[in-house]
Structure 1
Amino acid sequence: MAYYLYVIVLYVNILILSFNNGNNIITINAQNVPSSSRLTNLFPHLSFDKDFTQIFGGSNVQIYGNGSNAKISLDKKTGSGLAAKNRYNHGFFSAAIKLPAGFTSGVLSNWDFFPHNHDEIDFELLGHQKSRNWVLQTNMYGNGSVKTGREEKFRLWFDPTTQFHEYSIIWNSYHIVFLVDNIPVREVLNTPAISSSYPSKPMTLYTTIWDGSPWATNGGKYPVNYKYAPFTVSLGEMEMAGCIHDPNDLSGKSCSKTSNPSSLDPLEGQNFVKLSSQQIKGLQWARSKHMIYSYCRDKRRYKVMPPECKTR
């Protein structure tokens, strides 16, 4: 069985999820995991009942804890999903997530938006075929083009099914950063090499769970096994902060600041323009120890590498 959980996705709409246990996010202090500044402590938590709408799934979406927590489930009838009410020009997005345990091949959970012509920044949590392991995939599409995906995959350094972990995205005009438990795992710099494909449209946040067997497990070779359903993802402590899109502002600059940028402004603040030395060490650790695939290394897929790969 194959199912997918889209965890944090920025599409011409952005999606991010956060999980908690009671009032506290639980983290695992695995051996040799580098320390990192907790950006997720900087922002208030939003409400799933006030700041999100259900997009499909009926009773497979449950909101509880006065809106501070949510569960989305996949069964044989349907998957489910939520979408944020606001769209953003740039920002910081985070959530804590706890994934289904057991045999989850083909289950996909992620955040995304326009299915045919869109920008996208997302975390995709993939139920791995023939095993009980989850694979973390990051991806982005830019400037309304989905012809070329820019995927990278990671083995997580913890069991994402036993406790809540934070998955976060920084997206501004300088770079895109994917973070897991506040540790950067990927940074995409907005350089001339990638500027034509750099996500630039207003986006909203989605969180969905669905059967991705045909797409993710060798054409459905290992489909979702509904014997183990329902597959339930727990969410909590959602954070979204940044430039909320104003449809009346055609310039898209309603949130820009020309002077004295706030240190907590994901659009221009110094905490979000570049990685700190501590974050760079975390990024190097995650990529050297846990990355298992990068599109920039896939010579079978790309006879001519995307231009940004040549600058790495």
Structure 2
Amino acid sequence: MAYAHPLLLLLMVVAVPPSAASWPPSPAYFPSTKFRSMRFTQGFRNLWGPQHQSLDQHALTIWLDRTSGSGFKSVRPFRSGYFGASIKLQAGYTAGVITAFYLSNSEAHPGYHDEVDIEFLGTTFGKPYVLQTNVYIRGSGDGRIIGREMKFHLWFDPTEHFHHYAILWTPTEIIFLVDDVPIRRYPRKSAATFPMRPMWVYGSIWDASSWATEDGKYKADYRYQPFVAQYTNFKATGCTAYSPLRCGPVSASPNPSGGLTRQQYWVMRWVQKRYMIYNYCKDYRRDHSLTPECWRR
């Protein structure tokens, strides 16, 4: 999880304003329906802030106030798989607040860890949430933060209903999906630019006032506490760190070997053209010797 570059806003891609939003075309394949849902207690446990966590039937509520946030973690580490949850965010003023669903091995490799993020960046009144996707490889906490951020507005209001957000991670690619619509594909181009060590699945809500909303311009305002997020419909299917080597990765498309169909690619490009507001590879103020996957061949 990284702070944004001070000149980020100068490099944002123009996106469709929420008032003119339209729903993406159908991807024609719905990977979330291929994987069984689980109850929170079947695959996860509290990690921190247990007093800020409530379980009601199949839905988990976590919240942030002036005293603490909260987080949870999968019981098992995975080396590949499909990881999803249906999430509902809080409306109103949520600046400075991060609601996250992500993969990480930070506890196993402190200061030298891998991470794959879905983060919702809190906002101010009348402005839409930003969904940030990010990928770190071996060392996002060692003083040289190398993020690979892509940011999106959504084609719906994520505070009105639950929507399903997922990460598909295999040895060859990472795909981010929203309601089964692929919004980003991060292929493995080299061992140095792709996470391969086992990771756990996490969720959290916390105060990131220093960078989360418009580069830290707007901070968390605890007059509006508590800040609440709800999670349900948990999915974590794939090869655990303890699975036999014959365990094969799952796919986000009808092709068992992975990748996306032509229709899925087309829908992904459609979303990126209309709703992506930042692409790290297009940020020419960054040192792309640290992100060689951005180099044109």
Using structure 1 for the length normalisation, give the TM-score.
Answer: 0.79
Percent of aligned pairs sharing the same letter: 37
Distance 1:78 1:311, change over 3 A: same
- Tell me the SS of whatever aligns to 1:232: strand
Output the CA distance in 2 between the equivalents of 1:302 and 1:179. Answer: 28
Aligned to 1:159: 157
CA separation in 2, counterparts of 1:178 and 1:224? 27
**For structure 2, which runs of at least 5 residues remain unmatched after alignment?**
4-20
Among 89, 101, 112, the residue aligned to 2:79: 89
Corresponding residue for 1:229?
A: 225
Distance (whole Å) between structure 2 residues aligned to residue 268 and residue 143 of structure 1? 28
Residue matched to 1:10: none
1:197 pairs, out of 193, 196, 200, with 193
Provide the residue aligned with 2:284 in structure 1: 299
SS at structure 2 position matched to 1:216: coil
In the alignment of these two chains, the number of paired residues is: 269
From 14, 17, 25, the equivalent of 1:34 is: 25
Change (3 A) 1:219 1:63: same
**CA distance in 2 between partners of 1:155 and 1:307 (Å):** 26
Change beyond 3 A, Cα 1:299–1:86: same
On the 8 A contact 1:101/1:132 being kept in 2, the answer is no
Rounded to whole Å, the distance in 1 between the matches of 2:215 and 2:275 is 26
Q: 1:49 aligns with which of 41, 44, 66?
A: 41
Secondary structure of 1:149 counterpart:
coil
String of CA shifts for 1:278-311, please: whole Å, max 9, x gaps. 1111111111111110110111223657321123
Q: Deviations over 1:33-58 (max 9, x none)?
A: 21021110111111212321111112
SS class of match (1:224): coil
Q: Aligned equivalents of 1:31 and 1:219: distance in 2?
A: 27
1: CA distance between counterparts of 2:288 and 2:113?
Answer: 25
The partner residue of 1:210 within 199, 202, 206 is 206
- Write the distance in 1 (CA, Å) between the matches of 2:285 and 2:213: 19
**1:287 pairs with 2:279:** no
Per the alignment, residue 106 of structure 1 pairs with: 96
Q: Distance in 1 between matches of 2:194 and 2:72?
A: 25
SS of residue matched to 2:199: coil
Counterpart selection for 2:67 from 77, 91, 94: 77
Match of 1:181 in 2: 179
Using a 3 Å threshold, how does the CA distance of structure 1 residues 269 and 280 change in structure 2: closer, same or farther?
closer
Find the residue that maps to 1:136 and give its secondary structure: strand
Give a deviation string over 1:164-184, Cα, whole Å, max 9, x none.
111011100121100111111
Whether the 8 Å contact between 1:108 and 1:125 is mirrored in structure 2 is: yes
Deviation at 1:255, TM superposition (A): 3.9
Q: Hey, what's the Cα distance between the residues in 1 that align with 2:86 and 2:214?
A: 29
Distance 1:167 1:271 in 2: 21
Secondary structure at the aligned position of 1:256 is classed as coil
Q: Which residue of 1 aligns with 2:129?
A: 134
CA separation in 1, counterparts of 2:245 and 2:252? 8
**Separation of aligned partners in 1, 2:204 and 2:113:** 17
- Quote the offset at 1:159 in angstroms: 0.3
Name 2:167's counterpart in structure 1.
169
Match of 2:17 in 1: none
* Contact 1:106/1:224 (<8 A) preserved: yes
CA gap 1:230/1:173 in 2 versus in 1, 3 angstroms: same
5+ residue gaps in structure 1?
Answer: 5-29, 247-252
SS at match of 1:273: coil
Q: Which residue of structure 2 lines up, in the alignment, with residue 242 of structure 1?
A: 238
Q: Which residue of 2 aligns with 1:277?
A: 262
Matches of 1:173 and 1:267 in 2, distance apart? 13
- Distance in 2, matches of 1:123 and 1:222, equals 21
TM-score under structure 2 length normalisation: 0.83
Q: Could you tell me how far apart the structure 1 residues matched to 2:128 and 2:78 are?
A: 33
Deviation at residue 273 of structure 1 after TM alignment: 1.0
Relative to structure 1, is the Cα distance of residues 196 and 61 closer, same or farther in structure 2, using a 3 angstrom cutoff?
A: same
Deviating more after overlay: 107-116 vs 54-63: 107-116
